[in-house]
Amino acid sequence: MSFNLIIGIDPGTSGGITYYKNKRYNPVSIKNTIKYTNSDGKIKERSKIDYDKIKQYLTHIKELGSPICFIEKVSLWSKDSSSFKFMRQEKMLRVHQTLLNILADLDIPYVEVHPRTWQVYLRLVHKFKVETITERKNRYKVYAGIVGNCHVTHDTADSLLICEFGRRKLIQDSIYVAKNIITTKNLFK
């Protein structure tokens, strides 16, 4: 298979989608912020994922060329068993599965990538340095801005880096891609 367009998806609730074509990265956030008035009359904000908009966007991307998608794999860990973390992980799993369904529906081949895989491959993991989540996210955002040479937010940084991981893998290690690619043809084997 020949691909001329690479998609990177971070399926988190504040994740993003980035596509790479003609040496240019195009990142967008997958969440919408909705304003609502609570029972006290105060205006609040809540993020929501609009799957129809995502499907339209991925359809648009597919019309631009022959895409392959690299999507971050989401899984539950036993250490995430506190009720709040579990509910959040469960929501992320639902978002992830819905995105996989959209990719299959649009016949876009994809590769699921564990977070640690793309982070180690791009040399973003510091073995001996302890940093907070905020420090790590800020470091990833800066690196994504350098790699992509475009405006990057916290929502789109990981998707751009996943896209960069996919771009490099296609060039340097096409065997990895061939072994891990999922298409609608091999999805139900």
pLDDT in tens, the chain (189 residues): 689 999 999 987 778 999 999 999 999 888 766 667 777 877 776 667 778 888 999 999 999 999 999 999 987 665 555 565 656 677 778 888 899 999 999 999 999 999 999 999 999 988 777 888 899 899 999 999 999 999 999 989 999 999 999 999 999 999 999 999 998 766 555
Domains and CATH numbers, the chain: 5-180 (3.30.420.10)
Rg value, the chain, Cα: 17
* 91-95 own/partner pairs: CB under 8 Å, 24+ apart: 91/13, 92/11, 92/12, 92/13, 95/11, 95/12, 95/13, 95/15, 95/49
Question: What's the rounded Cα separation, in Å, for the pair 160 and 177?
Answer: 18
